[in-house]
A and B are shown apart, each in its own frame.
Chain A
């Protein structure tokens, strides 16, 4: 009985689950394409930001996450358009290919840590963009590939058809985010997550405890690569196009900003909060008639969050702070530190 009234763990988590309910029933009230696609795209960015946060948990700072989205997007686009595969196997293969590439690159590049790792991943993102632009026979260069919607899923009498409206995309995005979120949440709670945390907190101590740093860094990089690949594949098929300009360094920076502004103390909540708030902010700002004011206010908002939030916390920690205010608990933040 006591556990049920243990408000510190129970009430915020229950209400956190309740927060998902409006998103699940949203298509009952509106099927407006603009609203749905805003949430779908912020969900995709949230998955990429989760990958970034997971890598950050091991103390590394990747600036090439959009490149893994591009790898995933191109893999499924090439498989469906050039080879005529159906969507679902190519979607799965997109994640696998992105994961394998992440593992190969990671096992070479993670040997140099810190700011060097950031700059090498940045360079790799640019290399992938240039290859996509120049490899005309396969990627059609800067004209890009035109992808189709996912194949309909037959369900007895009726079928889920992606071609007619955005609602199936919306629900598939919710499933994708939920699955990714649960997996990342479990990773964060498990022994593996604890190991990641200890590597970031004190690499030297962790190494002396017998933890193989490289192994765990590569594992984190690979897991992030797999899910970022899924996100990229879904992104390409939702926008029904894949060009080299869609995913570059500036998108990697955007993923990083979403993750940090959302808060790095939580593997799932932080990226979700950051992606939803910042992407929605970006969309609403882009409706303003003055060109350039969007970037200006976006940058100003990010700097304001960094300046005025308590140091080392993001948007997601407001949630914690709110419940601590309600129950008059002293404030205490657990911040994963970075090498």
Chain B
């Protein structure tokens, strides 16, 4: 049995993968595409919060919101200027969107290394101090990560289930044609959803900014991991994204405690076997 610290680390990792995967699935369920640039929005979110907090001196929770708004706006711009124009209605559209968003990975990483430099930046502990629980101690920073994630996920739940906007999003995801008949602009909804998805990625990045070092390439691994989380949970299922993120976070830290580098092999092997046994993932609707 690994020590409790490992489990808490797993919980922290679950939090980012969950938030990232949720945004990705939200975008997928409306637009029908995977946004491969998601990890780079995570990275940009971390940088925005870093500069807002250190250079301008905005309090951390407000800086997080600013990161969400800025990067969400950037995501909407990407959707409007690139994805919408590349996504031709034939079957090839998805292919071209994939290539365009993958090219944007290089674009945003290059832009970030030009603007912010290559050296690693650390945001000093925003919430200093350690909570002492006898045999176990947890830093307030890690508790803050968990609390912020809970707040964001609750806000998402309320937004999707209790407001008119959420109703429009769910309707557009389920039956785009019927939603159009009831006067919902699917185009505007997908733009909004792209903004929300990117804002979620940015918030995940800004939550983690005080815990890990920041450099232009931090987005790569969370992107791959949240892709795997989506696959485990089932493509297009929001519950699946959350459960997949939690499973992945714990497996990643608890197995890594025993196997170090080979934990990734175990992880990928697990995903491959799962896909062969249950191709639609844990919560997805059956294919065909």
Contact = CB atoms under 8 A, between A and B. Distances in A.
A133 B269 CA distance: 17
Contacts of A111: 276, 279
Interface stretch (A85-93, A113-121, A164-172, A180-188): A113-121
Nearest to B118: A291
A122 B88 contact: no
B95 A127 contact: no
B105 interface: yes
Contact of B113 (A291, A303, A339): A291
A320 interface: no
Contacts of B279: 111-112, 116
A122 B224 contact: yes
A130 interface: yes
A272 interface: no
B92 interface: yes
A295 B110 contact: yes
Interface string A98-136: 000000000011011001100110111011001101100
B235 A115 contact: yes
Interface residues of B, number: 45
A152 interface: no
Interface SS majority for chain A: helix
Nearest to A116: B275
A67 to B, nearest CB: 12
Given A291-B113, A291-B114, A295-B110, A126 B100 contact: no
A253 B105 contact: yes
Contacts of A300: 107
A137 interface: no
Interface string B234-268: 01000000000000000000000000011011001
A295 B228 contact: no
A253 B37 CA distance: 13
Given A120-B272, A295-B106, A260 B96 contact: yes
B74 interface: no
Nearest to A105: B272
B146 interface: no
A131 B92 CA distance: 35
B91 A338 contact: yes
B153 interface: no
B118 A303 contact: no
A153 interface: no
Contacts of A306: 82, 86, 96, 99-100, 103
B135 interface: no
Given A127-B269, A295-B107, A134 B261 contact: yes
Contacts of A299: 103-108, 110
B34 interface: yes
A130 B110 contact: no
Nearest to A339: B91
A115 B112 CA distance: 29
A120 B105 CA distance: 20
B90 interface: yes
Nearest to A131: B265
Interface string A280-304: 0000000000111111111110110
B162 interface: no
Given A130-B265, A133-B261, 12 more contacts: A112-B276, A120-B271, A260-B96, A293-B114, A295-B109, A299-B103, A299-B105, A299-B108, A302-B103, A303-B107, A307-B82, A311-B92
28 contacts: A61-B98, A109-B272, A120-B272, A123-B228, A123-B272, A126-B268, A127-B265, A130-B264, A134-B261, A256-B102, A257-B102, A261-B99, A290-B114, A291-B114, A292-B118, A296-B107, A297-B110, A299-B103, A299-B104, A299-B107, A299-B108, A300-B107, A306-B82, A307-B86, A311-B88, A335-B92, A338-B95, A339-B91
